[in-house]
Chains A and B, each alone.
Chain A
């Protein structure tokens, strides 16, 4: 069965600083990987997804993620964080695509002015 680990429960960065959120997955076959963002009181919004092809994936809001099969990782990055990026970020892996996703426990991002 697949699983997702997000090692960092809470990360604080200054506005304008770079950001990397870690995600490690466990899955025997080719994984389908996703990053979602959840602002307080709202549902999840898809940032980006990886199914195959180029291992560097571009998403919305200036985010990107890199799939590294050898490290079983799918880390999310942003070169310059904005205060509006403060939210909780969830990594997810799908077995047969986008259905029956398995989510990590999330990383809460705080952005200092």
Chain B
């Protein structure tokens, strides 16, 4: 069973606030990912990282930013939240080998009022 944790699970907050979504994994995985998921839609990759100090933008443009200062931690930040940021955000991690699957956290459901 994968050990990847996301907090908070649910967040309802007003427009303009700064938000940080936390993601931590205890498996020592090098690669980590953030996906955005809307109801009835596919997951879209918004950020990923190959390891410490590595961050890349995904296929879906996002106003969020990420950092990777420690292997186990990959937080996502929105500097000024807007209603268009309302979505579910899923974090995942995998070993560096190309044939290893991604393991997902339970997600953060974000609602911006």
Contact = CB atoms under 8 A, between A and B. Distances in A.
A106 B42 contact: yes
B98 A46 contact: no
A39 to B, nearest CB: 10
Contacts of B99: 32, 51, 97-98
Instruction: Bin the interface of chain A by size.
Output: 20 to 34
Instruction: Bin the interface of chain B by size.
Output: 20 to 34
Interface stretch (B13-21, B65-73, B74-82, B100-108): B100-108
Contacts of B94: 98-99
Contact of B101 (A4, A34, A41, A106): A34
A43 B104 contact: yes
Interface string A33-60: 0101000011111100101000000000
B31 A90 contact: no
Nearest to A3: B42
A42 B106 CA distance: 4
